């Protein structure tokens, strides 16, 4: 850009001050005056002639202003773009980009709003009673990811079990992340040395990167799969942290934006653990894009980085308060998978992620990825990923901006794909943020090739002709349309539990959990024969999975095969009790107590009531919940031991005061004990809670008449 293109911008340059009007030192003031002198001269404005960082920042800002001014319509532009372009402003173009991204997001995910809760969403959202209220909200402290679950709790209160509300929120978060990505890319391309080459096309490049990322089918697991709201919400806070920092670089009040950046980082730490690398990414960006050296980074923004690093304390506190759940959920402490095993397995996983990034054809909800054990599973992927890491480090030294893209990919993926073991080695939602770096790298490489090919067609100012822009826009539309269509097709797989698990089992036939969940979905569809077959397949693939044996027992009970169900439940209990984690999580283990209570019911069907009572006692020791007391009271009733039965019904009512069945059961027990007056009071309470229950009303009237007959024979 020549000095003539800066004519008329001198007043803007006079108002520019990256560190505050009162903070410009003498050297910076002289350099800024030198910059203005160059603006007035006929010489080309070059970095070598500007000795001070302040003047270089001023130059970057002037380039951005000049670019924005040129994006307003010139007479030739107005003929090509229409009258609206004449009065277009930078904000207008940003609004246009935001609308394009919003429409694209709706077009890709309109058919996901009816998809049900699946997989972890059933356990942690649909069946989670703590999400039914937000104040006082128990999971706020003492539970990991409180910010993410708080957002889900709001949906649970506002929409109950209507899934469209969850999906609408997930889509809104996803589009917001795309907006943030657009802002980050656009502001980055008009900064420093990048501005000379990319400022004129910053808007289009930012739109291309954010659009490809938005509509990519690899994102469906983070958007359509409701529970993975935690991943997309964390991604929103992650990019908001970086975006606020970038805005602070050019703001007259950088402190406010830096405070907002720290707040977003802290919220992200409370959303998901993958946020842990955000402060490092911001630091890398500052050094690679914004600052000239490390001294500038810490001298100007040292306090900000101290505050940003303080957000790690939020994550550390939450992890400490809920440390036991990490081992139970298979995070950081996984039996049978050492950090070395996990690290050696991840290069193959990362290569698979990259393959899906460029060719997202065979997507899968649950991979059941095995630990790499053979050399052919370890060495080739390790060489490939090691080469990419070395290229990233070399680029960070030689071409900092390109190196930052590689670093962003590995940093955002590091929490789940490095050395910290997780029970599941591969999940597609872990590419939610890393895909942004891949998309940016791919778009920028295509852009550089496109510049070379279209160089003869560019004008004197280096701007592409209208025909070149139209062809580029059509290419972007074609790519986005293809990815978006694949996203729509993938959403159809999530239409029901049955369809998603059928696709998953077909894609990964060696995944035992996929077959188990397919069996569960088939049973819900009343197809018990195929359900049992899928469960047996799951058990063959993984005999040590207690859940598969437990679900098999449930299906056998549904087919009235109670003896076989008892055997399946017994196997589930044996596996669970002898697992390496059993000693640390036996107390209050609701899962194991469920196994015991289900075996008790199966034994009661076989009239083995004494052993059923033993199972009920074991279940209550593990988890003294109201339902278990109720079921044990029923077993006491079958044994005609009405006094302990009445006591257990009373325990049930202590925990659930509005349980009509418990009142009715206690009334029956008291009636058998000859305590008729107390029985009538309990019958009356049951009728009061369920006034439309004809059986309750009939029995109450019968006992009232009987009591009157006894009083007046």
Q: What is the 3-state secondary structure (H, E, C) of 580-648?
A: CCHHHHCCCCHHHHHHHHHHHHHHHHCCCHHHHHHHHHHHHHHCCCHHHHHHHHHHHHHCCCHHHHHHH
Token readout for 389 is: 């890491």
Q: How far apart are CA 520 and CA 538, in angstroms?
A: 11
Cβ atoms 356, 431 nearer than 8 A = yes
**How are the residues of the chain apportioned to helix, strand and coil, as percentages rounded to the nearest 5?**
75, 0, 20
Q: How far apart are CA 98 and CA 334, in angstroms?
A: 43
pLDDT 10s digits, 493-524: 999 999 999 999 999 999 999 999 999 999 88
- Crossing angle of helices 626-638 and 590-605, in 10° steps, is 20
Token readout for 21 is: 């009007």
Cβ atoms 341, 377 nearer than 8 A = no
pLDDT 10s digits, 211-241: 999 999 999 999 999 999 999 999 999 999 9
Residue 624: partners with Cβ closer than 8 Å, 6 or more residues away = none
Q: Which pLDDT does position 621 carry in this prediction?
A: 92
Nearest to 322 by CA among 131, 155, 153, 138: 138
pLDDT 10s digits, 359-369: 999 999 999 99
Q: Which pLDDT does position 24 carry in this prediction?
A: 39
DSSP 8-class letter at 252: S
Q: Which pLDDT does position 439 carry in this prediction?
A: 98
Cβ atoms 231, 431 nearer than 8 A = no
Chain-centroid distance of CA 449 in Å reads 34
Peptide bond into 136 cis (omega under 30): yes
pTM score of the predicted model: 0.80
Nearest to 100 by CA among 260, 264, 210, 230: 210
Nearest to 417 by CA among 346, 484, 472, 360: 346
Q: What angle do CA 552, 130, 233 make, to 5 degrees?
A: 95
Beta partners for 2?
44
Output the DSSP codes for 305-327: HHHHHHHHHHHHHHHHHTHHHHH
Nearest to 216 by CA among 63, 432, 61: 432
Phi-psi region of 508 (alpha: psi -120 to 50; beta: other; left: phi over 0): beta
Q: How far apart are CA 84 and CA 69, in angstroms?
A: 15
CB atoms within 10 A of CB 156: 22
Cβ atoms 469, 463 nearer than 8 A = no
**Burial class, 561, CB count within 10 angstroms (exposed 0-12 / middle 13-18 / buried 19+):** middle
Q: What is the CA radius of gyration of the chain?
A: 32
Please identify every stretch of the chain with a pLDDT value under 70, giving residue numbers as ranges.
1-90, 134-143, 326-332, 458-463, 580-588, 710-713
Q: How far apart are CA 138 and CA 341, in angstroms?
A: 37
For 525-588, give the secondary structure using H, E and C.
CCCHHHHHHHHHHHHHHCCCCHHHHHHHHHHHHHCCCHHHHHHHHHHHHHHHHCCCCHHHHCCC
Cβ atoms 149, 131 nearer than 8 A = yes
Cβ atoms 508, 366 nearer than 8 A = yes
Token readout for 689 is: 């809670």
Chain-centroid distance of CA 150 in Å reads 14
Q: How far apart are CA 90 and CA 251, in angstroms?
A: 17
Q: How far apart are CA 425 and CA 560, in angstroms?
A: 38
Cβ atoms 536, 507 nearer than 8 A = no
Token readout for 221 is: 């697991």
Residue 673: partners with Cβ closer than 8 Å, 6 or more residues away = 642, 643, 646
Give how far Cα 420 sits from Cα of 233, 235, 331, 406, 414, Å. 22, 20, 8, 21, 9
Q: Which pLDDT does position 34 carry in this prediction?
A: 57
Nearest to 512 by CA among 545, 490, 557, 488: 545
Number of helices (H) and strands (E) in the chain: give both, helices first. 34, 0
Cβ atoms 646, 670 nearer than 8 A = yes
**Which residue is listed with tokens 């697992």?**
579
Residue 616: partners with Cβ closer than 8 Å, 6 or more residues away = 596, 597, 600, 628, 631, 632, 635
Q: How far apart are CA 290 and CA 254, in angstroms?
A: 14
Q: Which pLDDT does position 332 carry in this prediction?
A: 66
Cβ atoms 565, 528 nearer than 8 A = no
**Which residue is listed with tokens 């500007």?**
50
């Amino acid at each position: 850009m020549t000095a003539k293109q800066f004519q008329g911008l001198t007043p803007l340059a006079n108002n520019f001050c990256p560190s505050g009007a009162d903070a410009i030192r003498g050297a910076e003031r002289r350099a800024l005056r030198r910059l203005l002198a160059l603006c007035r001269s006929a010489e080309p404005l070059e970095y070598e002639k500007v000795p001070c960082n302040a003047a270089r920042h001023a130059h970057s800002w002037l380039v951005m202003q000049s670019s924005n001014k040129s994006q307003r319509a010139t007479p030739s532009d107005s003929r090509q773009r229409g009258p609206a372009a004449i009065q277009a402003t930078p904000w207008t173009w940003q609004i246009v980009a935001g609308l394009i991204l919003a429409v694209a997001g709706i077009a890709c995910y309109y058919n996901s709003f009816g998809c049900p809760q699946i997989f972890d969403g059933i356990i942690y959202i649909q069946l989670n009673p703590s999400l039914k209220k937000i104040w006082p909200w128990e999971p706020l402290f003492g539970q990991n990811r409180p910010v993410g679950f708080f957002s889900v709790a709001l949906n649970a209160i506002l929409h109950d079990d209507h899934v469209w509300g969850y999906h609408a929120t997930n889509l809104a978060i996803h589009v917001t992340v795309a907006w943030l990505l657009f802002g980050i890319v656009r502001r980055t391309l008009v900064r420093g040395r990048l501005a000379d080459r990319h400022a004129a096309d910053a808007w289009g490049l930012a739109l291309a990167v954010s659009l490809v990322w938005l509509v990519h089918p690899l994102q469906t697991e983070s958007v359509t799969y409701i529970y993975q709201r935690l991943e997309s919400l964390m991604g929103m806070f992650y990019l908001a942290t970086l975006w606020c920092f970038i805005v602070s670089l050019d703001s007259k009040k950088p402190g406010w934006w830096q405070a907002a950046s720290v707040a977003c980082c802290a919220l992200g730490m409370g959303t998901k653990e993958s946020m842990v690398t955000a402060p490092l990414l911001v630091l890398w960006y500052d050094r690679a894009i914004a600052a000239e050296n490390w001294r500038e980074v810490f001298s100007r923004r040292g306090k900000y980085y101290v505050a940003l690093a303080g957000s790690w304390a939020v994550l550390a506190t939450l992890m400490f308060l809920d440390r036991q759940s990490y081992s139970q959920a298979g995070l950081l402490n996984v039996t049978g998978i050492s950090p070395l095993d996990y690290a050696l397995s991840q290069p193959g996983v990362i290569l698979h992620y990259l393959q899906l990034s460029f060719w997202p054809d065979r997507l899968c909800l649950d991979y059941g990825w095995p630990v790499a054990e053979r050399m052919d599973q370890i060495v080739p992927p390790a060489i490939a990923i090691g080469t990419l890491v070395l290229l990233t480090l070399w680029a960070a030294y030689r071409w900092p901006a390109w190196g930052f893209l590689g670093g962003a990919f590995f940093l955002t993926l590091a929490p789940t794909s490095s050395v910290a073991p997780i029970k599941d080695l591969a999940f597609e939602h872990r590419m939610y943020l890393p895909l942004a770096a891949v998309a940016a790298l791919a778009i920028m490489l295509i852009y550089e090739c496109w510049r070379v090919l279209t160089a003869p067609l560019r004008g004197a100012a280096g701007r592409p002709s209208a025909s070149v822009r139209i062809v580029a826009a059509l290419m972007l539309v074609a790519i986005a349309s293809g990815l978006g269509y694949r996203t729509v097709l993938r959403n159809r797989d999530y239409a029901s539990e049955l369809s998603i698990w059928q696709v998953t089992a077909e894609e990964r036939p060696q995944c035992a959990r996929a077959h188990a969940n397919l069996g569960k979905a088939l049973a819900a569809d009343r197809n018990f024969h195929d359900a049992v077959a899928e469960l047996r397949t799951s058990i063959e693939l993984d005999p040590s999975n207690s859940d598969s044996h437990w679900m098999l027992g449930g299906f056998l009970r549904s087919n009235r095969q109670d003896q076989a169900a008892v055997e399946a439940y017994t196997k589930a209990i044996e596996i669970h009790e002898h697992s390496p984690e059993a000693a640390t999580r036996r107390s209050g283990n609701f899962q194991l107590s469920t196994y015991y209570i289900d075996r008790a019911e199966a034994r009661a069907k076989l009239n083995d009531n004494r052993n059923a009572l033993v199972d009920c006692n074991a279940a209550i020791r593990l988890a003294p919940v109201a339902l278990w007391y109720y079921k044990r009271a029923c077993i006491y009733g079958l044994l005609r031991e009405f006094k302990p039965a009445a006591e257990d019904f009373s325990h049930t009512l202590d925990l659930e005061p509005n349980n009509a069945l418990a009142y009715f059961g206690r009334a029956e027990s008291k009636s058998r004990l000859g305590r008729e007056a107390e029985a009538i009071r309990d019958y009356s309470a049951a009728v009061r809670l369920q006034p439309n229950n004809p059986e309750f009303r009939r029995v109450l009237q019968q006992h009232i008449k009987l009591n009157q007959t006894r009083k007046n024979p």
